[in-house]
Amino acid sequence: MNRPSTVLMSIALCAAALAAQTVDRSKPPATPPIPNYKLPPVFESALPNGLNMVLVEDARFPLVTARLNFAAGSKFDPPDLPGLAEAVASLLTEGTAARTSRQISEQVDSIGGALSAAAGPDALTIAGNALSENLPALLDLMADVSLHANFPAGEIDLYKRTRAEGLKAERAQPAFLAEERMSHAVYGSTPYAHISPTPLSIRKLDAAPLASYRDAHLVPENATLIVLGRLPARADLMKIVTRDFGSWLRKAPPAPPKIVPPPPRRQIVLVDRPGSVQADIHVGRLAPPRTAPEFFPLLVGNNILGGGADSRLFRDVRERDGYAYDAHSEYDTDRDAAMLVAVTEVRNEVIEPALKEVLAEMDGMASQRVSAPELEHVQDYLCGLYLLRLETQEGVAAQLNSMRTLGLPRDYLETYTARVRSVGPAAVETAARRYIAPAQSIIVVVGDAAKIAEALKKFGPVRVEADQ
């Protein structure tokens, strides 16, 4: 018998042996132990001007990833110019004193990389990546756009036209309108209440407020440079950083605004959208930020409630009752506050039973202790997903950036899985009783008031607002 025949015979015998084994396909395979994450060695330093540096060696690939994090963001927007931080971030890479927008783009392409900037509620971040050999060129570009952006008039006009059209598209979506009203209801008069610019604030944009924001917030004492990847020798890297950022003048940044949201209370807001055949339902309330002791119990509880296809909301509202294509919950955390919201979209004719079911599922989290198998399943999911996100340089850089933005402790990444694992059924129940039980939740519904207002009144007084 020749060798190929022998190999085929061996494969056939192995297949027959495996087929003869009894496999219980009614149970999923056991999840192997999920380890804690081990962060590569981290070196922290600072330049004399106050710029903080976090350097992480990851030599697996010939790549580098960088983040320049500023403690800025939309919470610093002037009251009459919501969206200013977003505009600054979008326009930073569109021209400097030494480079046009096109030149910046071409130079980024020439180093095999990417360069962008974005602003959230608590931070403005310039993000870049490139081949390791091109790290000096990447840092030179990041320094240029952060120190010398000049906001050309043509680029501002283009941004204003594009953003105005984008805002129209956003406001045509009921989910956006629900999120907007929920943010206002939960966060009140604080800056966190504003999730987008207004048509007026877009029209008012010009170079003066953009440059003023840059000069006030994009300063070295307000910044952290994170560089991760296959790095040059430490002394050489420090020379590069000093060359690009060392001349940056030290300047104290503005004090952050004090965030004091209103106390949670039950209210029902109906955003009238005549002609809508569906109703967007958001049920939510104020929740603790990531630095709070209740964060991990509530994180686990939120995922049990509506964190995926195995969650209670998805399984019951969608799969069992057929009320919606999707039903989930979100736990969105900022530095100083957070929000937990259950979300679904249903046909007008089933809004009453669907909302009853959403409220019942939220109430059940607080009144019925989660079972050990359900708890363990969610913990496996959270820990596994977390480790997957840290498999890439981009993932690690994003997490390190979030740590700076949210004020998290230095051991946060390495203790995350252990802290998720440490959450017990009693802790989930306690957190759910305080933050998920819907007695003090706000109900925001976007839909046709003429068709759904009477059904909503069965849950309490309803305030009808126009779709502005």
When pLDDT is cut at 50, 70 and 90, the band that residue 3 belongs to is very low
Answer whether residue 368 shows pLDDT above 80: yes
pLDDT at 15: 52
Average pLDDT of 106-113? 96
Asked whether the beta carbons of 119 and 142 are under 8 A apart, the reply is no
Answer whether residue 28 shows pLDDT above 70: no
pLDDT at 291: 96
Average pLDDT of 347-372? 96
The mean pLDDT of the chain is 93
Between the alpha carbon of residue 211 and those of residues 206, 207, 216, 262, the distances in Å are 9, 6, 9, 33
Answer whether residue 339 shows pLDDT above 60: yes
Answer whether residue 37 shows pLDDT above 70: yes
pLDDT at 65: 97
Give the ranges where 335-448 is alpha helix by DSSP (H). Answer: 351-367, 372-389, 393-406, 412-421, 425-435
What is the reported pTM?
A: 0.90
- Strand partners of residue 225: 53, 68
Answer whether residue 18 shows pLDDT above 50: no
Answer whether residue 27 shows pLDDT above 80: no
pLDDT at 447: 97
If residue 446 lies in a helix (H) or strand (E), which one and from where to where? strand 442-447
pLDDT at 8: 44
Sketch out the chain's domains with CATH numbers. 42-245 (3.30.830.10), 267-466 (3.30.830.10)
Average pLDDT of 125-151? 97
CA distance 439 to 29: 39
pLDDT in tens, 198-252: 999 999 999 999 999 999 999 999 999 999 999 999 999 999 999 999 999 999 9
pLDDT at 33: 75
